[in-house]
Structure 1
């Protein structure tokens, strides 16, 4: 029986109805302490890691000699030292694309909620200020997506799915990526190329869909934020570290940006002193926060678990793994 150290909670299997095969011995743990992870991994075959929350450093990898592969439940793998794992012939696999539409739906929902100012409308109506709210919205005007310039920074699986949704709603869609799509793909999804600087300065809505790398960390700093239109909307469903949190708070307090939607605050969880949790009343009205749930629907969770079990089966059968992120095609043999 193959032993799996699961840092993904057992409840995930229960709520999604996914059955663990009898030949896989899942040992569940909530620990994020690397010394405890090393201890758990003695004589184990696989690690099932939680995306974005499980650190597996070079020091840990050195000590988990029996582990044949590391499987991540979600898409992000920045917390795992994938290069060091590759040097030790240890494959790391994720669930690329498994929740692309899920996250794209969430980003679109944030855009529309901020455009139509649903948060403040809900709050004021519950305070008995219905007529005041109605007069204000009619006087100031609300926006729709048709003909709005939307800039996507990063056009991977999630960015592509969001572009498709925006195209249906007649938005004018642009993107910036380190790797451009072919003209045929761009035409198919109705999207045009634009430099990063032009996206920031020209677009009405900017949505972030980049992985967290040394190049993207703190990419959206105060200078970048101030390049955006005062009336612009900023969405982040990627990683919190891409935006400098203090800079975003400062810009919001200055009255810049019409709306901000953040699913991935940094750090997670935030402390009570986090700058985005201590904004003035007017600044708070323009920011929408969710607790990193853009991609965690039951449907997405089920696909993650099913795909991960499939990869464990591939490893046991000595078959090529899917969604390997560090170039090691098969599970190592010990």
Structure 2
């Protein structure tokens, strides 16, 4: 039987999966690494003999140097859809198959997005500062009911956010890169508008785009200036989609009432452009970080491995 290397399991969730038990029962040698691997040499040492590598999110980078030192590697099972940490072109040349797990974390990101919207509208971060300083100060916020939510992108997460926002009583509009799709406006009670109209008329703008090359710095300084005064900006997608310094300037100038930001261009965040912004909720890329999601990630990525063995082995293992 082969060697399977699981990397980035900081939360120790893989051993709880029924698919882990099935792979062990079939006789596969499974090695789980729970700590961060900090350089190529450490990664190579972990995967050199592996036929299969399982990755938790984008925690471990497999570049050309790493992949060229894994002669037995035939499958990478990646949690989530993001592949920017993998040299996909080189993997394809090496005949390494890449399988992903889509839609597993959507609900957790949806709930974080809604939480940030409420937190910014009611200025949670400002009131936390007051309370820690023993100040009894009440700064008015605003209700979300009756306000316009503008979604930039309308995939699984954007649709989930729209459903909750509609139940609150918000007017939901969206811009999507490829325009309207049949029945979506009716099914989700959302109107598809131009990008300029979504940005300039929404009380809350929430970003839900995939990090594709054409979307890097998509919300640049000029587009961000279209945001209406007193609006809230939420980014639980990717930091590279926006001009972070432009957002920080709009916050410091009080053009934006607040922002909820879970993802950053550089992670971990070291040089924080939002350190002088008071009504800003910052979280360290926790959109997917719930035990529910992590367990679903483990299950889905290991099921990918089982499916792959059943297709590629001449004698299928007893799953």
Shift of 1:255: 2.0
Shift of 1:10: 5.7
1:318 equivalent in structure 2: 311
Mapped pair 1:214 → 2:213: yes
Cα distance in 1 between the residues matched to 2:51 and 2:182: 44
Change (3 A) 1:119 1:189: same
1:330 equivalent in structure 2: none
2:282 equivalent in structure 1: 289
2:12 equivalent in structure 1: 12
Shift of 1:291: 0.8
Mapped pair 1:31 → 2:37: yes
1:80-91 alignment runs, 5 A limit: 80-91=86-97
Cα distance in 1 between the residues matched to 2:216 and 2:67: 24
2:145 equivalent in structure 1: 146
After superposing the two structures, state which structure 1 stretch, 23-32 or 164-173, moved more. Answer: 23-32
Give yes or no for contact 2:75–2:96 (8 Å, CA) kept in 1: yes
2:224 equivalent in structure 1: 225
1:1-334 alignment runs, 5 A limit: 1-9=1-9, 11-13=11-13, 17-18=16-17, 20-21=20-21, 22=24, 23-29=27-33, 30-130=36-136, 133-134=137-138, 136-137=139-140, 142-271=141-270, 273-277=271-275, 279=276, 284-318=277-311
Structure 2 unaligned segments of length 5 or more: list them. 313-319
Change (3 A) 1:193 1:83: farther
Shift of 1:117: 1.1
TM-score when normalising by structure 1:
0.84
Structure 1 unaligned segments of length 5 or more: list them. 320-334
Query: Alpha carbon RMSD of aligned pairs, Å?
Result: 2.1
Shift of 1:241: 1.3
Give yes or no for contact 2:110–2:160 (8 Å, CA) kept in 1: yes
TM-score when normalising by structure 2:
0.88
Shift of 1:32: 4.2
Give yes or no for contact 2:8–2:60 (8 Å, CA) kept in 1: no
Cα distance in 1 between the residues matched to 2:42 and 2:269: 24
Give yes or no for contact 1:235–1:262 (8 Å, CA) kept in 2: yes
- Other structure's SS at 2:13 match: helix
